[in-house]
Every structure is written in C-alpha cells, then in structure tokens.
Amino acid sequence: MSRLHTFTYLFILLLFLGAMPFALSAQEEQEPDGDFQERPEEKEPPAEGYPEEEQFLEAYDLGSQIFTIDAGFFIPLFFHFPAASDNEDVSTFEPAFGQLSLGGSGSLSWGSYLTPRFAIGVELAGSFSFTPNGYVNSLIPITMFTEYLFRYGSFEFPVSLQGGFVINRVQDQLYMGPIAIPGISGYYNLNAEWGLGLSLDYWWVPEIYFDKSENSSFGNFLELSFSARYHFS
Amino acid sequence: MSILKYKTQLRRALTGIVTLALLSLLSIGCNQDGVGIFYSISQEKEQITSKISEVSVYQVVDAGSYTYALGGRTVWQQSGNNWNNLGGGYAYNIVADSGTSTLYAYFNNDDTSLTDGRIKSYTGSAWSPADSFSDDGKLIDIGNDTFALVVRGSTDPTLYITNDLTTPPAVTDAGNVVDTVSIVGGTNLGSTTHYLISDSTVYSWDSSSPNTLADLSLSNPEKTGNFAAITSNGIDTLYLVTTSGQVFSSDGTSLVYITTVGGSVEAEYGAASVVDISGPKLMIGTDDGYYLMELNGTIIESPDDYAASYPELAAALVHQVYQKTATDDIYLATENGLWKRTATGEFERQ
C-alpha cells in the first residue's frame, strides 16, 4: 500500500509541476504583476436561456484595408470577331491559344471595405504572351474593382469585378481601350493579417474600331494566379 | 468612422469609377495606324528561320538546279530549308546564265571605295575569276541570256552588253563598249530586241548601240520620279515603273499610264516583274511591301491585304521580285529577309 501511495503522490506532483508553467503564463496574461485578482462571480444564465446561434464579430468593417499581390499564368482563350461576316480572313471565333503562348501575369491591388463584406479598390496588372514569331503581346490593365466577400471559417472567397482601361501592345501596334475582369479567389487566412490562396480571373478585352469595324474584336483570356493578401486598418 | 466620412469616401470611390469608365470610353480606337492587334495576332503565320532570315536580301536567281540569293553582301546557295554562304568577297550583283547553268557575281573587295571590282563565275563548286575592274560595277540581266554591265567610276559610266560572260576579258574589250550611259534595268521582247532604262530615258538595243526611244510620248498624267524598273510580258508589251510608283505600259512607241502604287520603288535590283499567277500579273515591290495587279492596273493585292498575316513583309522595302523558273514560287527579296510566295498565296520566310 505504501508503494501505491508513493506512486500516487509522485503522479500528483508531476501533474502539478507540469501544469505550473501554463498556470503562471495564464496568470501573467490575466493578472497585473503583484496584484491578486478576485475570482469573478459566476453569472446566472439568462431566464430565456442562451441563444442557439452564437453571434460573432465581423473581421472587417469600414476602414479595413487589403493589399494583394498576384503572380501566375496567363492563358489565351479565343478572339471574338462580331463582324466576321465582313472579313473573309477571320471566323467569328478564332482560337487564341494557338496564336499566343501560355504567358505570365502579375498584379498589385489595394482595396478598402465599405461594409464587412463589400470592398472597392484599384489594381495595376500586367500580362505577357508570345505570338507565333516570338513577338510579345502585353496587356497592362489599370482598373477599379468591387468585391463581395464570402467567409467560411478561416477561408475567404472574394468575388470581384474589375473595370478600367488597358494598354494593349504588340510589335508597333498600340491600343488603349476598356477592359472588364470578373474573378473569384480563395484564401486561407494564416492569421489575422495574412491570407494565401489562388485567383481565377477572366479578362475580357474589347478592341473596337469605328473606321474598320470588320477588324473589331474581343480578346478573351484566363488568369490563374497565386495570391497573397494582407489585411490592415 | 462617422456616417459623414463614410458617405464622403463612397462618393469619392464612385467618382473615381465613373472617371475611369469615361477614360476607357475616350480611349477606344487609339490605334489608327494598325490593322487591329487581335486581328494581327489571329492572322500571324509562323515563319521558319534560316541563316538569311535576318539579313537584307537583294536578289534571287536560278542557275541549273540551284537557287541563289544575294543577301548581306554575300552570295547564298539554297540547300533544303537552309542557305549556305558561298563566300567569294563582297558581292553587289548576281545574274544567271541559264544556257550554261552558271552563276555570275560582281564582287568588290574594296567595300569602302569600291575600287577592286571583279566578276566571278560559280558552277556549283567554287568561284572562278572571269574579269576584273578598278571601279564600281553593276551586272544586269536584260533577258534572253543577255547581260548589261555598267562600270561606274570616276569617269563616265561605261556600258557593256554581252551574251557571253564566260570568256574573260570579253567585257573589258574596248570593242564591247556600247555606250556611256548608266543603265538601271533592262528586259527583252522576243529573242533579239532588248529595252534598257536609265533614270530618265528608255533605250532599245538590238546588238548595236542603244537607241533612244525619243518619241515615247508621256500622256497625262506626267511622269514623276525616275525610271526604277522595266519588265515585259515577253511578247509585245513593256511595263515601266517610276521611283514614285507610277506604272506605265508601252508597245515601244508610246507610254500609257496604268496606275500608281503606294510607296516608292527602288531602282537598284528590279523591283517589278510580270509573273504567272493563273495568268500574267504585274508584281511591283515598294518600300512598303508589294502590289499585285492585273496587267491593266487593277490591283489584286496590296500591303493592307497581308499586313496582318505578314507584318514584316508588308513593312519591308522590296528590292526584287523574281519568279522561279517553271514554278509557281515567287521570291521577294526584301530588307526583312527573303520571302517565298507559294501557289496557295501563302508566304514562307526563308
């Protein structure tokens, strides 16, 4: 029996010693140095009972800001020629992937929340891909965006729409025109500030000519990028 | 943040979005010079690259079973999809004698002051000297295996005409000097009658001295620029092109204005030729690509038609138009390399 008692005392002592650091640490966080804090009184549960759904504070609100950096792949899809019937050289839909290589893209954006789920901001992006003879086709959009945020635990899924103008260039040709970019992203928030994820954006690039409308076209591209997002206030 | 600040921030944001949208609309169509970026990309054709794809090519000729090109002051021999440098010095002109399957080139080993001119022949293995001069010179094929040699030095230009470049020093024989005019091009009608042009004059030549066709009257509009190229249908009609792009036809007695092509035409290597593309057509090279037309001047192809597919061809100075013997292949020797037009109308950059 005495051996059993000895083992029991040792076990309790080990438990106590093992718990000490956590207890001290908790005290450091909760108590002012050198002061003794009385145990708070336990509150009685409300008469109507606790609510079935817990209420959480939203992570962002008016004034919350985001800074995002993207880098990834630029995938040419197709060119749409609405007046192809007036141009014997082209079909209504011409494949772009055979005429442009898999390219690269990148962007920097800043945004601010107006509500816990709705943000607006500006973005500067750029992409490049190569024509069959190695010429570079570059697109540099300067856009404003609106974004609606869906959240699920530590995951965030912003759905965005960008609009602005784009500088489109190949060889000695330069075109500045409008651009629209709908997109969706998925982020895993590592902590309150940083989130990492993937973005999928669809670039719709009108190239309108009034004097040679048969050559007017709409470029369609897909951007798949790795994305890092920083939250701050 | 107060509701007032919130509204102010929202108003600024909306103002920014509207401003950006207006800028986008205003910027539509800011590409008046091009044919359309996406249109160009959709039409671009991949071109093969060879050793002469990046040099300025001046001439192409056939001799025997080989095709030769003069590019970057070097003579090249075609070998499959590639071209081999034949060396020999700084070459300025090439001509081919179809009767002997021999290539002739005018070299000048003094590339600066052009005082070391030589004619050399090549039959498939090595260069052989044929004649030498101490001046700048130019060999011109004037049709039917007949060649004009203009030697330009410090004195008046000297014109030799011969149908035999194989026996040196035939062209230096004083008896072979036919005149002291500077010829820039020539062609033939039938087997014996040749026509030559200088900057401003058309000559006929039938084995004696060149005769000035003084009675070639110029109809309205007046001729502008100098004569740059002369070609013929080989039967009864000459076609003359001026440096300003005017195109005339002639039966040897008068000039008839046909049309004017855009751009200017170079006089050095023969930028105009009657080619066979489902019948005779006139192809003219300019400093902005080529024009293809019916013999009556109706334009069939102009640079705008192929600028999207072949932008470098459409923007190139075309030195020479040449149809390979007994084939549909037409070569365009340009400052942007050598281009072959196939029977389907596609171009293959060499």
Residue by residue, what is the 3-state secondary structure of B54-105?
Answer: CCCEEEEEEECCEEEEEECCEEEEEECCEEEECCCCCEEEEEEECCCCEEEE
- Tell me, what's the pLDDT at B321? 95
**Cβ–Cβ < 8 Å for A79, A96:** yes
Taking the Cβ of residue A118 and every Cβ of chain B, the question of whether any pair is shorter than 8 Å is answered with: no
Q: Give A209 or B168, the one with higher predicted confidence.
A: A209
The token pair at A180 is 């629209």
Please choose, from the candidates A104, A94, A220, A83, the residue with its C-alpha nearest in 3D space to the C-alpha of residue B309.
A94
Count CB-CB contacts under 10 A for residue A19: 11
H or E stretch covering A180: strand A173-189
**Cβ–Cβ < 8 Å for A48, A216:** no
Q: Which residues pair with A138 in a beta bridge?
A: A128, A169
Closest Cβ opposite residue A175 in set B16, B31, B44 = B31
Residue-range domains of chain B with CATH: 215-350 (2.130.10.10)
Q: How many domains does chain A have?
A: 1
- Tell me, what's the pLDDT at A30? 45
Q: What is the mean pLDDT of residues B260-282?
A: 91
Q: Does B91 have pLDDT greater than 80?
A: yes
The token pair at B209 is 């001295």
B109-161 confidence digits (pLDDT tens): 777 777 778 889 998 888 988 888 778 888 999 988 888 988 877 667 888 88
User: Could you tell me which chain B residue has the CA closest to the CA of A134?
Assistant: B46
Q: Does B310 have pLDDT greater than 60?
A: yes
The token pair at B294 is 């019916």
CATH number of the domain at A75, please.
2.40.160.20
- Tell me, what's the pLDDT at A41? 64
Q: Are strands B254-260 and B217-218 parallel, antiparallel or unpaired?
A: parallel
Name the phi and psi angles at A194, rounded to 5. -110, 140
Q: Does A226 have pLDDT greater than 60?
A: yes
- Residue B338, min C-alpha distance to chain A (Å): 16
Taking the Cβ of residue B33 and every Cβ of chain A, the question of whether any pair is shorter than 8 Å is answered with: yes
In-domain check, residue A33: no
A86-98 confidence digits (pLDDT tens): 877 788 999 999 8
In chain A, positions 62-101, which contact chain B (CB-CB < 8 Å)? 62-63, 79, 81, 87, 89-90, 94, 96, 99-100
- Tell me, what's the pLDDT at A211? 78
Mean pLDDT, chain B, integer: 84
In chain A, positions 3-42, which contact chain B (CB-CB < 8 Å)? none
What is the ipTM score, two decimals?
0.74
- Tell me, what's the pLDDT at B215? 61
- Residue B344, min C-alpha distance to chain A (Å): 14
In-domain check, residue A162: yes
In-domain check, residue A208: yes
Residues near A74 by Cβ (< 8 Å), separated by ≥ 6? A102, A103, A104, A105, A127, A128, A129, A221, A222, A223
In-domain check, residue A22: no
Q: What one-character DSSP code corresponds to residue A55?
A: -
In-domain check, residue A5: no
H or E stretch covering A223: strand A217-232
pTM of the full structure: 0.66
**Cβ–Cβ < 8 Å for A68, A111:** yes
The answer to whether the CB atoms of B25 and A178 lie below 8 A apart is yes
In-domain check, residue A183: yes
Query: Exposed, middle or buried: residue B153 (CB in 10 Å: 0-12, 13-18, 19+)?
Result: middle
Please choose, from the candidates B307, B312, B265, B258, the residue with its C-alpha nearest in 3D space to the C-alpha of residue B281.
B258
CA distance B286 to A139: 33
**Cβ–Cβ < 8 Å for A200, A183:** yes
Share of chain A above pLDDT 90, in %: 55
- Tell me, what's the pLDDT at A209? 87
Q: Are strands B66-71 and A155-170 parallel, antiparallel or unpaired?
A: unpaired
The answer to whether the CB atoms of A165 and B20 lie below 8 A apart is yes
The answer to whether the CB atoms of A165 and B47 lie below 8 A apart is no
- Tell me, what's the pLDDT at A199? 97
Q: Does A8 have pLDDT greater than 60?
A: no
In-domain check, residue A114: yes
Share of chain B above pLDDT 90, in %: 35
**Cβ–Cβ < 8 Å for A110, A67:** yes
Range of the domain at A155: 65-232
Distances (CA, A) of A140 to A96, A106, B242, B262: 18, 10, 45, 35
B161-215 confidence digits (pLDDT tens): 888 877 655 666 666 777 778 889 999 988 778 999 988 889 988 877 778 876 6
Share of chain B above pLDDT 70, in %: 86
- Tell me, what's the pLDDT at B217? 67
Q: Verify cis geometry, omega within 30 degrees of 0, for the bond prior to B210.
A: no
The answer to whether the CB atoms of B30 and A132 lie below 8 A apart is no
A103-153 confidence digits (pLDDT tens): 999 999 999 998 889 999 999 999 999 999 889 999 999 999 999 999 998
In-domain check, residue A215: yes
